[in-house]
Amino acid sequence: MLRDFFKSKSMDIQSWFSNNGSYADGVKLYSELPTCSTNILRSFARENSSNFLKLKYELKKASLNGVGTIVQKVEEVVTPPKKEPENKSLIKEIIRASEEVSFQKENMAMYPMELHSTYRQRVNDFYLACELKFQLNALADDDEENALKIIIQLEDLWTRIDRAWMILDHWKDHNRLMPTVESKDFSNLSGNQLVMMRNKLESRISKRQKTIDAMHLNVLASPEDRSLLNLFNRKREQLEQLKIDLVTIRTKLKDE
């Protein structure tokens, strides 16, 4: 079986699970995977129960798929000082931050009424992801078909959870509301009108994303410019609205 073939290559990850490894060690293991995503790695900067579960899921997925999960243990040996590559600094910073993290109490009252449904959905999705994670762990080693189904469900849940965090963090960081529902009712549009609207939105999203990417560099270069930051956030919110409308239209086209 696929997992049996790679079992010998993933012993360090398996040991991390077996020995209830620390969050920092898990982040280090994930950072050394060939499939490591920089965006996901950055999201692990803050240690919390949600990120810990997501970290376990990413390591479990790597172990199940056997995607280059050879990770060498670091032995304490005396070696001459060696200059580390610059890309290792991000990993060290994430591990350091995770070790110094302090948990803050969060509740729905922290957010305006418009975001309460987003908060509740994020919590529900998180507990559902926990249940699926337990189901995944309980599967037999050779039950790869059901393992894949659960992994796909978890991927979808984590996408929704990440989006919910983005919306909630946008409020906490900027005191601004990110769109959460479509801008208007598309139910009266014909199939041809939906296709035309879809194509138009795809073009607008592509152009808006390029604009935002360019603006982001200016924001980073001038963090004290509040007017630029407000404009940047407004463009981000407009882009999110376009994405929501596009998903709505694609869903309607699929249902026709």
Residue 248 dihedral angles phi and psi, to the nearest 5°? -60, -45
3-class secondary structure, 177:
coil
Residue 239's contacts (CB-CB under 8 Å, 6 or more residues apart) are 205, 208, 209, 212
Residue 184's contacts (CB-CB under 8 Å, 6 or more residues apart) are 245
Give which of 166, 151, 171, 178 is closest to 42, Cα–Cα. 166
Give which of 84, 86, 79, 90 is closest to 41, Cα–Cα. 90
Tell me the C-alpha distance between 223 and 53, whole Å. Answer: 33
- Which one has a higher pLDDT value, 193 or 5? 193
Judged against a pLDDT cut of 90, whether residue 231 lies above it is answered with yes
Tell me the C-alpha distance between 108 and 119, whole Å. Answer: 7
Q: Give the rounded percent of residues in the chain with a pLDDT score beyond 90.
A: 45
**What is the tens place of the pLDDT at every residue in 91-110?**
555 555 544 443 346 788 99
Amino acid code (one letter) for 11: M
**What is the tens place of the pLDDT at every residue in 151-193?**
999 999 999 999 999 999 999 889 999 999 999 999 999 999 9
pLDDT level of residue 90 (50, 70, 90 thresholds): low
- The residue behind tokens 């060696």 is 82
Amino acid code (one letter) for 160: R
If you average pLDDT over residues 191-216, what whole number do you get?
A: 94
pTM comes to 0.58
Structure tokens at 252: 């309607």
Give the single-character DSSP code of 124: H
Structure tokens at 226: 């509040």
- The residue behind tokens 């920089």 is 38
Judged against a pLDDT cut of 80, whether residue 141 lies above it is answered with yes
Tell me the C-alpha distance between 146 and 136, whole Å. Answer: 8
- The residue behind tokens 């997992």 is 3
DSSP 15-58: HHHHTT--HHHHHHHHHTSTT--HHHHHHTTS--HHHHHHHHHH
**What is the tens place of the pLDDT at every residue in 30-86?**
888 887 877 788 778 777 766 777 788 788 777 776 654 444 444 444 444 544 444
Give which of 238, 237, 82 is closest to 166, Cα–Cα. 237
Chain centroid, CA 100 distance in Å? 22
Residue 82, class by beta-carbon neighbours within 10 Å (0-12 exposed, 13-18 middle, 19+ buried)?
A: exposed
